[in-house]
Amino acid sequence: MEFLLIILLLCGSLLIRYNREVLLLIKILRHKPFSQNLKKNEQLTIEQQNALSAGLIIAEQHMFCWDSLESDARNSGKREQKYRLRTAWGVFSSESATECLSSFGTLHKLIDVAIDIYLNVPKEQWQSCINEQVPEGYREIIMSYCASLDQASSLLIENKVAENQDELHQILLRGSIAWDLGRLVYIARASYVAGYIDKDQAWQSINSVLPTVKQYFANWKEFGQSYMLGRAVSQPDDANYGLFDIYTQCTTSEESPWLKYPLNN
């Protein structure tokens, strides 16, 4: 009996210490792909749905519903989004949320500079090219992106984001702008759920990405490839194979909004 009590106390202390991790694991196990918000009080227009769909991969990653600005509180509540915004993007108030949304979206430009060098400059000349063409404050990060592109390219082939080298080359030429556009949609949604911005502010930020999405991509698959390229280059040591599974679901599942609401249809 005493041994059982010790075990129960130990389990209780671990639950308290790792409460967030345990709850998150439970949510992940309960989450169904492309869940809908059964409590939504408005229907989205096709344009709104397309704008929201730019954030589909990261929405699935964080277990957001796909068919409303709001999300299912069971999966992605206010407390969880405040934590994510604070730790990942330094957003902790209305002011910081507004500032982040207005200034976010330049990382892909650095990645695309690296891609251009990777495609057009011999490897032994990368550093001299960067020294000549890139301001000093960005040279180290550009070089790190160049160095990670071999690994990123292999990951895209291995996980069927690109079927072959020719398709990979086309993905690289289109660049990684989707990586920033998709995350901007998520930051706007999370900031709204967290109570930092109102609905109009959230939709203003989300709707702003759609013209750029349509300008750069013929369909959602191209968009998703660009998103996964940005992720693989910017976080080479965190491949996150689960994210590749999400990409596959987004591009192939009949339940995916990308198939229900084609881009440029």
pTM of the entire predicted model: 0.86
Tell me the helices (H) and strands (E) count for the chain, helix number first: 17, 0
The pLDDT tens digits of the residues spanning 166-185 come to 999 999 999 999 999 999 99
Question: Do 86 and 92 contact (CB within 8 A), yes or no?
Answer: yes
The pLDDT tens digits of the residues spanning 198-222 come to 999 999 999 999 999 999 999 999 9
Question: Do 209 and 90 contact (CB within 8 A), yes or no?
Answer: no
Token readout for 118 is 């990777």
Which residues of the chain fall short of a pLDDT of 70?
Answer: 1-31, 72-76, 238-241, 265
Distance CA 25, CA 99 (A): 32
Our CA angle for 174, 152, 182, nearest 5°, is 55
Token readout for 247 is 């990409």
Where in the chain are the domains?
Answer: 48-260
Give me the chain's average pLDDT, please: 88
Tell me the residue type at 102: S
Distance CA 63, CA 56 (A): 10
